[in-house]
């Protein structure tokens, strides 16, 4: 009888032990599953942070809210919105006056330079661009696309630095020959406007461009867009 009781106790203990092991495995499995889900989930924070660090506002396109986050006084932001578009970086620089720390401000907001016409000395206004890089910017003219700019300047700096430079420059497009993809590289030009640029080809003069594109945008935006394009002389 005692032996039978001992056997029953042993079986009971073994059963409890087995069930405990199963629960432990189940808990571990659930824990591992949660960990795998976390590991497999997108983790864009590092890349997003880098993109945020390289982002420079376009003074002609930034919203009031965006401009208010970069340290400009509210009155200056109001005046900036009223006076734009600035048709050159020089005009924007003059607007800001001499009381602003431009070295720091131009890390946050800028009016992009035309890569094909800007004097080499002016490129040095771009934060982090010294004599050598300003020379390289000029060396590879004329640029026909931003892809060419990335390829040539990529010989000297990494992709992150190129991405930063791209906020400060643009390549003007030839209205009658540029592809839609190249047109969309222009600051503030999206799918719809790129389509309209193409729609009215061939352009015979800039007056035609102003007439046709003026159907879709106001005079201020038309003036901004006009500085981004040109017509090849016949």
Which pLDDT tens digit goes with each residue over 28-66? 444 444 333 333 344 444 444 444 455 899 999 999 999
Nearest to 84 by CA among 192, 187, 2: 187
Q: What is the largest CA-CA distance in the chain?
A: 115
Instruction: Output the six-digit token pair for 110.
Output: 């800028």
Nearest to 206 by CA among 181, 176, 169: 176
Instruction: Output the six-digit token pair for 9.
Output: 């106790």
Residue 59, SS3 per DSSP: coil
Q: Given a cut of 70, is residue 152 above it in pLDDT?
A: yes
Q: How far is CA 131 from CA 117, 121, 125, in A?
A: 17, 8, 11
| pLDDT at site 131 | 98
Residues 197/175, Cβ–Cβ less than 8 Å? yes
Nearest to 135 by CA among 156, 104, 111: 156
Q: What is the pLDDT of residues 182-211, one digit of tens each?
A: 999 999 999 999 999 999 999 999 999 999
* CA–CA dist 26, 28 (Å, integer): 5
Q: Given a cut of 60, is residue 19 above it in pLDDT?
A: no
| pLDDT at site 178 | 97
Phi, psi of 10 (to 5 degrees): -60, -45
């Amino acid at each position: 009888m005692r032996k039978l009781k001992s056997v029953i106790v042993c079986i009971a203990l073994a059963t409890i032990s087995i069930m405990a092991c199963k629960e432990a495995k189940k808990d571990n499995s659930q824990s591992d599953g949660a960990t795998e889900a976390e590991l497999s989930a997108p983790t864009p924070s590092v890349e997003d942070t880098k993109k945020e660090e390289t982002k420079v506002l376009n003074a002609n396109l930034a919203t009031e809210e965006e401009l208010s986050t970069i340290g400009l006084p509210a009155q200056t932001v109001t005046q900036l919105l009223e006076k734009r578009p600035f048709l050159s970086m020089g005009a924007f620089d003059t607007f800001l006056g001499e009381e602003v720390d431009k070295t720091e401000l131009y890390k946050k907001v800028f009016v992009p330079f035309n890569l094909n016409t800007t004097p080499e000395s002016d490129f040095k206004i771009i934060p982090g661009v010294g004599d050598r890089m300003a020379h390289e910017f000029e060396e590879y003219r004329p640029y026909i696309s931003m892809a060419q700019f990335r390829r040539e300047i990529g010989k000297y700096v990494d992709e992150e630095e190129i991405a930063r430079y791209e906020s400060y420059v643009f390549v003007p497009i030839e209205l009658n020959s540029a592809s839609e993809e190249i047109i969309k590289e222009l600051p503030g030009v999206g799918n719809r406007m790129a389509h309209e640029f193409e729609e009215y080809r061939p352009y015979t003069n800039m007056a035609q461009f102003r007439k046709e594109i003026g159907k879709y945008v106001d005079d201020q935006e038309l003036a901004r867009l006009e500085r981004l394009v040109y017509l090849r002389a016949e």
